[in-house]
Amino acid sequence: MLLGTGESSAGGAAGEAEMPGGGLNVRYAETGYNLEIDLARGNVERVETDPELTRLHLGGLGTNARLLWDRVPPEVDPFSSDNPLIFSAGLLGGTPAPGANRTIVSTFSPQTLLMAYSMMGGFWAPELKHAGYDKVIIRGKSPDLVYLWINNGRVEIRDARHLHGKGAIETAEIIRRELREPNAQVAAIGLAGENRVYFASIEHGRSSASRGGIGAVMGDKGLKAVAVRGTRDVNIARPAEFMEHCNDVLRYIQYREANPIKGVPPILAGIGSPQEMAIIDEEWHTTNFTWGNARTRRKDFWTREVEEKWKESQEGVRTRLISCYNCPMKCGATISVPGLPTYMMKCYSKLTYTMAAFSDLDFGFRIAQRATEYGVDGYSTPQVMAFALELYEAGILTGSDLAGMPHDNEGRFFWLLDRIVRREGIGDVLADGTYWAARRIGNGAEKFAHNNIKKHEQLPLKLGMLNPVYFLMYSTGEKINITQIEGQFPQAPFATREEREDFVKDWIQVPDEKFKQYFLDWDPRGERSIPYYPTIEASCEIVDWQERMHYIDDALGICAGLSSFPLKPPYHIHNFPPIISAATGMDIDEAGLTKAARRNRTLIRAVNVRRGMRRADDKPPEDHWKKRFPELEAELLDQYYKFKGWNNQGIPTKESLQELDMDYVSGDFEQRGIIASE
């Protein structure tokens, strides 16, 4: 069924199609249909999906990865017309499940050259499900700037040349007015995406899909925005049973809100995505993190005076706390900085620019507003700017490279941001991120690009003692972003045995009782001691548990803030199976859910292995920890690979692939000589 060619209409459509209604076969939780968009030809196609893939991969990230494996040869360049951009709702997206609102955007990254996937909150994915689709798969490149308008069964490719250069949030407002549809949910790029900045984001009001440069891929395709409006129902297999499970989750959320975790920093005491806009106490971040590219640890930064000033700044611009679709948590906020348009902020954006410049919070709010309109990642961007200033201070970049840059601290960051998103002068080099920029600049610049994993800027931590669990998560995580890997096991041991015993009393979320013992046996030690997890085996099992929960969330479209990220969350390995079963009618138990998560994790590894990733890529930044243990690190990787069913290069073995019903992967690997054929 090929639909939607033709000339632009008076309504502004470059291509338009009216999609038929549902078929006879009812699908539960998912719609059973994807939208396939070819921007080069102006074609729109509604495609029924294979329910067997849902059984194997659940949905969301899992089926995104399967699409990339099946359709994209490993030699395809991220800026090729053959590299698809996939917007996906998770399996439970748009259902009454609390927090089931994540959009999973997948493609191949221009920055890492590997599979990129980024999760975006807000309302976009549920709206897509209510329009009747599980995914939007975009391929090809439009010769002119366009945007998509998905209005239930009517899909249009519309002219967006009048939106060229507009900010991401501004674009969304213009589109809603143009469509006369204030309830349309819009995901848009800003100038950075149009100019293919390698860390460009896709913005959606209160959230963004920002890691890996997926906004650059969207801009390369000539796609300014995707707007969607849906009013259709999402079918539930056993609705009464499903709603009771949802109510149990809500009741537990209320319990956890009333009972914050003791003995941890405020950011970890509650649940939800990191509630930076509700929390003022940032001692933990400002004393343990080195933001930007700077190597100086500022233990003296957080004082009573700084805390009072930050409180005044934050409460002065925060107009209200806000939530995402069908979620009782208020993890974001509406920000109104005097003289600037209102915007929305969540997570760490208030800190990244502030700490990169070692400036005050007022500066952070002001520059974050401009960065949001430009559409750039809040982790990479401040580090790239700090990297440039470190090179200038070291004499590697000179005054001629930065001609016209202001002399004041804040002015330099605004100036660099403007140059980067426009790819002007030195900004054209910096727009490729610190890894690629350092190699273009040369003259020793590489040693200043020290916070990368797989060519991707990380959350800029500089800590003391190497932590084996975090070493494995940083080194091997396919998301290449620590906040989408870490989770339910505490980040540090509690000071006393009594505190640890109190913590494990109501720790119902553990998949096995042995994890309680791991935590009880975890004694604090000084930086001169060996790392402090009880065994390497335990470290592998803890990482596997935390990974498992993230891969389940990313397949279901559940916010990590209610499941994989916080301590003692409302969703966990024990209640997910009955929730999924009641929603889909597809009975699944803990073993089956674990196998599906392991299959998805292995498939993403396979996708990246096929693109050349090997053991040498599995390493954290060299100076991430003050004290390192090379022999232990090598043994950790060896044992982790063995635990996952991979060989010593991090490649899934034929036996483990067969166990996961992935013979198609082992066959491909044998044909390419990646693993030996029998």
Q: State the Cα–Cα distance between residues 675 and 175, nearest whole angstrom.
A: 50
Please compute the mean of the pLDDT values over residues 604-629 and round it to a whole number: 90
The better pLDDT of the pair 424, 295 is held by: 424
Q: Residue 110 — pLDDT band, cuts 50, 70, 90?
A: very high
**Collapsed DSSP state (helix, strand, coil) of residue 195:** coil
pLDDT tens digits along 216-245: 999 999 999 999 999 999 999 999 999 999
3-state helix, strand and coil shares in percent for the chain, rounded to the nearest 5: 40, 15, 45
Q: State the Cα–Cα distance between residues 116 and 193, nearest whole angstrom.
A: 15
- Residue partners of 73: CB distance under 8 A and separation at least 6: 82
**pLDDT score, position 16:** 63
- Residue partners of 520: CB distance under 8 A and separation at least 6: 497, 500, 501, 504
Q: Residue 348 — pLDDT band, cuts 50, 70, 90?
A: confident
User: Measuring CA to CA, which residue among 561, 565, 594 is closest to residue 101?
Assistant: 561
Q: State the Cα–Cα distance between residues 672 and 669, nearest whole angstrom.
A: 5
Portion of the chain with pLDDT greater than 90, in percent: 72
Please compute the mean of the pLDDT values over residues 654-673 and round it to a whole number: 97
Q: State the Cα–Cα distance between residues 250 and 64, nearest whole angstrom.
A: 29
The better pLDDT of the pair 354, 614 is held by: 614
The better pLDDT of the pair 664, 300 is held by: 664
Q: State the Cα–Cα distance between residues 643 and 602, nearest whole angstrom.
A: 12
Identity of the residue numbered 103: T
Residue 35, φ and ψ in degrees, nearest 5: -95, 130
How many CB atoms sit inside 10 A of residue 458's CB?
Answer: 20
Please compute the mean of the pLDDT values over residues 205-210 and round it to a whole number: 87
pLDDT tens digits along 166-177: 999 999 999 999
Alpha helices in 491-629 (DSSP H): 497-504, 514-520, 536-556, 576-584, 590-610
**pLDDT score, position 35:** 98
**pLDDT score, position 626:** 76
User: Measuring CA to CA, which residue among 130, 124, 127, 215 is closest to residue 431?
Assistant: 215
Please compute the mean of the pLDDT values over residues 114-122 and round it to a whole number: 94
**pLDDT score, position 288:** 64
Domains of the chain: 13-229 (3.60.9.10), 260-442 (1.10.569.10), 463-672 (1.10.599.10)
User: Count H helices, E strands: the chain?
Assistant: 25, 20
**Collapsed DSSP state (helix, strand, coil) of residue 647:** coil
Q: Residue 359 — pLDDT band, cuts 50, 70, 90?
A: confident
Tell me the Cα Rg of the chain.
24
Q: State the Cα–Cα distance between residues 303 and 307, nearest whole angstrom.
A: 6
Maximum C-alpha span of the chain: 72
**pLDDT score, position 7:** 31
**pLDDT score, position 10:** 28
| Alpha carbon distance, N-terminus to C-terminus of the chain | 42
Q: Residue 276 — pLDDT band, cuts 50, 70, 90?
A: confident
- Residue partners of 430: CB distance under 8 A and separation at least 6: 384, 385, 387, 388, 416, 419, 420, 437
Strands (E) in 440-479, as ranges, are 452-453, 456-457, 463-465
User: Measuring CA to CA, which residue among 260, 261, 288 is closest to residue 519?
Assistant: 261
Q: Residue 653 — pLDDT band, cuts 50, 70, 90?
A: very high
pLDDT tens digits along 295-314: 455 556 778 888 888 889 88
Q: For the ranges 50-54, 515-519, 545-549, 628-632, which has the lowest average pLDDT?
A: 628-632
Whether the pLDDT of residue 528 is over 60: the answer is: no
Q: State the Cα–Cα distance between residues 374 and 166, nearest whole angstrom.
A: 8
Residue with tokens 């929390």: 279
| Alpha carbon 589 to its chain's center | 27
Please compute the mean of the pLDDT values over residues 181-210 and round it to a whole number: 95
- What mean pLDDT, rounded, does the chain reach? 90
Q: State the Cα–Cα distance between residues 531 and 510, nearest whole angstrom.
A: 23
Residue 123 DSSP one-character state: S
Q: State the Cα–Cα distance between residues 602 and 478, nearest whole angstrom.
A: 10
